[in-house]
C-alpha cells in the first residue's frame, strides 16, 4: 500500500474526527465518559463559547508561542468548531458547498461586488 501524503493524513484525520463526533451525538461511546457528548448536551451556546475560547488560545499561540503549540491549539480549535457545527446541525457538506461556490473568485473582487447597504 502506498504511503499517505500529509494531505491524505489531514483529510483522513478530519473525516475520522467528524465521524467520531457524529457517533457521540448519536449516543455511541467506547464505555468511557465522552467530553463530546457532555459538550453537545450543554447546547449550541456552550459549544460556541468553547470554540471562542479555543480561538483566543490559537491567536495567542500564533502571536507568541512555538509552531508545535500553534499546531496543538489549531487541533483543539478544529475539534471545537466541528462540535459547534454539529450542535447547530450544520454539516461539513454544507461548509464544503459554501467553499466550492467561492473557488476561483478573488476575495478582493467578491468584496467589491457585495450589495451596498
Ligand X SMILES: N=c1c2ncn([C@@H]3O[C@H](COP(=O)(O)OP(=O)(O)OP(=O)(O)O)[C@@H](O)[C@H]3O)c2ncn1[C@@H]1O[C@H](COP(=O)(O)O)[C@@H](O)[C@H]1O
Which residues contact ligand X by CB under 6 A? Answer: 17, 20, 24, 34-37, 76, 79
Query: Least Å distance between CB 24 and ligand X?
Result: 5
Residue 98 three-state SS: helix
Q: Which residue is nearest to ligand X (CB)?
A: 36
Task: Decide whether 47 or 113 has the Cβ nearer to ligand X.
Answer: 47
H/E run at residue 27: none
Query: Least Å distance between CB 42 and ligand X?
Result: 7
Cα(71)–Cα(109) distance, integer angstroms: 31
Query: Least Å distance between CB 74 and ligand X?
Result: 11
CA-based torsion, 15, 86, 57, 35: positive or negative: negative
Residue 111 three-state SS: helix
Task: Decide whether 15 or 91 has the Cβ nearer to ligand X.
Answer: 15
Decide: residue 16, CB within 10 A, 0-12 exposed, 13-18 middle, 19+ buried.
exposed
Task: Decide whether 37 or 105 has the Cβ nearer to ligand X.
Answer: 37
Task: Decide whether 32 or 103 has the Cβ nearer to ligand X.
Answer: 32
Amino acid at each position: 500500500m502506498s504511503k499517505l501524503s500529509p494531505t491524505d493524513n489531514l483529510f483522513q484525520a478530519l473525516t475520522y474526527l467528524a465521524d467520531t463526533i457524529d457517533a457521540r451525538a448519536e449516543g455511541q461511546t467506547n464505555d468511557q465518559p465522552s467530553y463530546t457528548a457532555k459538550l453537545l448536551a450543554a447546547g449550541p451556546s456552550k459549544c460556541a463559547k468553547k470554540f471562542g475560547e479555543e480561538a483566543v488560545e490559537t491567536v495567542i499561540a500564533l502571536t507568541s508561542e512555538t509552531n508545535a503549540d500553534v499546531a496543538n491549539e489549531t487541533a483543539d480549535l478544529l475539534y471545537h468548531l466541528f462540535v459547534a457545527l454539529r450542535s447547530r446541525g450544520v454539516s461539513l457538506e454544507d461548509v464544503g458547498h459554501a467553499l466550492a461556490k467561492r473557488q476561483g473568485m478573488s476575495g478582493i473582487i467578491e468584496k467589491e461586488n457585495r450589495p451596498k447597504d
